[in-house]
Amino acid sequence: MEYWDIYDRNKKKTGRTMKRNDWNMKDGDYHLSVLGLVRRSDGRFLITRRKLDKEWAPGWWEVPGGGVRAGESSFEAVVREVAEETGLDVRDCPGGFAFDYRRDNPQEKNNYFVDIYIFQKDFDPADIHLQEEETTAWKAADLEEIRQLAGQGIFLHYDSIRQAFERPQTMKERLDRQFAFIREIDKEKFVSRQTYVSDGSRMENDAEHAWHMAVMAYLLSDYSNEKIDVLHTVMMLLIHDLVEIYAGDTYAYDEQGHKTQKKRETDAADRLYSLLPEDQAAKLRDLWDEFEAWDSPEARFAHVMDNLQPLMLNAATGGRSWKEHGIHLSQPLGRNARTAEGSYKLWDYAFDNFIRPSVENGVLKDDTGDAGE
């Protein structure tokens, strides 16, 4: 048998208890319930649908929650309820208590307080494990979807908790999400590429590649075919390979890898940039999409940097990576088919100083007959 503590009007425990759902409360007696809103970094909330055989509000949508057991704290209760109903552990998540409210229902002899919690946690379908005897479905809903369900009269407690859904992000919550992203992108240092550093001692990593290109963009921007915003280009170069934290590096000449690269990296972009506050997530995702589309002067010049940096390092190391992979001239030419769109001057320089010498010294096998043209 489950028991609940009885509270007074000031939300203080009286030392008495009641049986769960035993609606025979005296005037001035209250029990305590909790509701736990779980908000993803994309602004969507986890909501669940009550089973159709429920005696009260069958088929309605709600957020996880329930009664606080005797001897249990409010926080312990909301962590337990969210875990029981959804399988998510919010114990160490950013967020916490938001507000409470009180309801007096003397006719039903059911008076209660409700503590509202808001937790920040990203979750995927694989993370959700519903409590089958309580819920029949779940969804990650945005505010408009929740409002529509409330407008249809099938969202529990909406009027009482709507401020939780509409509550603006606090500075701490914003900083929590920003630092979560900042910590996550440190993993870019662990993504190894197939290009050696200039002394040939080891492979470079993605973070080094990004730094190198950013400096190159600043120094070489005068050679762009079109006037560019240098800071915009630098930022694009710094963030465009972050998706490889999840998608992995795809070698420039890996034909099989290229078949799945677009989907892997798009999925990774969805996951990574959503860690940020919505406004910054949108800006960085737009930058990433811009680079992928080649549809601006900045994107075209960024691709020049992305293509020339490994050419330079391959030339500096005597074509070590090219030799190890058995690369032929047609392959770097194919990869650089659009490089001149961003800077024909830099492409001419790269061909004359990085590619042609590599053909002449036998590092790149000429399978085109065009190296001397």
Specify if 174 maps to a domain: no
Do 41 and 87 share a domain, yes or no?
Answer: yes
Specify if 175 maps to a domain: no
Strands 203-205 and 135-141: unpaired
Do 137 and 197 share a domain, yes or no?
Answer: no
Strands (E), 40-171: 45-50, 61-62, 65-67, 95-103, 112-120, 135-141
Pull the structure tokens for residue 339: 């490089």
Do 332 and 286 share a domain, yes or no?
Answer: yes
CA torsion angle for 329, 330, 335, 341 (degrees, to 10)?
100
H or E segment and range at residue 147: helix 143-151
CATH number at residue 89: 3.90.79.10
Which residue carries 């967020």 as its tokens?
Answer: 95
CA torsion angle for 43, 82, 145, 162 (degrees, to 10)?
-80
Distance CA 72, CA 246 (A): 40
Could you tell me how far CA 34 lies from the centroid of its own chain?
A: 28
Specify if 31 maps to a domain: yes
Domain that holds residue 61: 3-167
Query: Considering 167, 197, 222, which residue would you say is the last residue of a domain?
Result: 167
Specify if 258 maps to a domain: yes
Specify if 234 maps to a domain: yes
H or E segment and range at residue 257: helix 255-273
Specify if 273 maps to a domain: yes
If one counts the domains in the chain, the total is: 2
Query: Considering 167, 198, 229, which residue would you say is the last residue of a domain?
Result: 167
Do 158 and 190 share a domain, yes or no?
Answer: no
Do 335 and 223 share a domain, yes or no?
Answer: yes
Do 261 and 119 share a domain, yes or no?
Answer: no
Do 196 and 113 share a domain, yes or no?
Answer: no
Query: Considering 102, 132, 167, which residue would you say is the last residue of a domain?
Result: 167
Pull the structure tokens for residue 122: 């990203």
Digit-by-digit pLDDT tens for the chain (373 residues) are 899 999 999 999 999 999 988 888 889 999 999 999 999 878 899 999 999 998 889 999 999 999 999 999 999 999 999 999 999 999 988 888 999 999 998 888 899 999 999 998 989 899 999 998 889 999 999 999 999 999 999 999 999 999 999 877 778 878 888 999 999 999 999 999 989 999 999 999 999 999 999 999 999 999 999 999 999 999 999 999 999 999 888 877 777 877 888 899 999 998 899 888 878 988 999 999 999 999 999 999 999 999 999 999 999 999 999 999 999 999 999 999 999 999 999 999 999 999 999 999 999 999 986 544 4
Do 150 and 198 share a domain, yes or no?
Answer: no
Distance CA 88, CA 170 (A): 23
Specify if 356 maps to a domain: yes
Do 44 and 103 share a domain, yes or no?
Answer: yes
Do 131 and 251 share a domain, yes or no?
Answer: no
CATH number at residue 200: 1.10.3210.10
Do 9 and 136 share a domain, yes or no?
Answer: yes
Do 224 and 261 share a domain, yes or no?
Answer: yes
What single-letter amino acid sits at 167?
R
Specify if 132 maps to a domain: yes
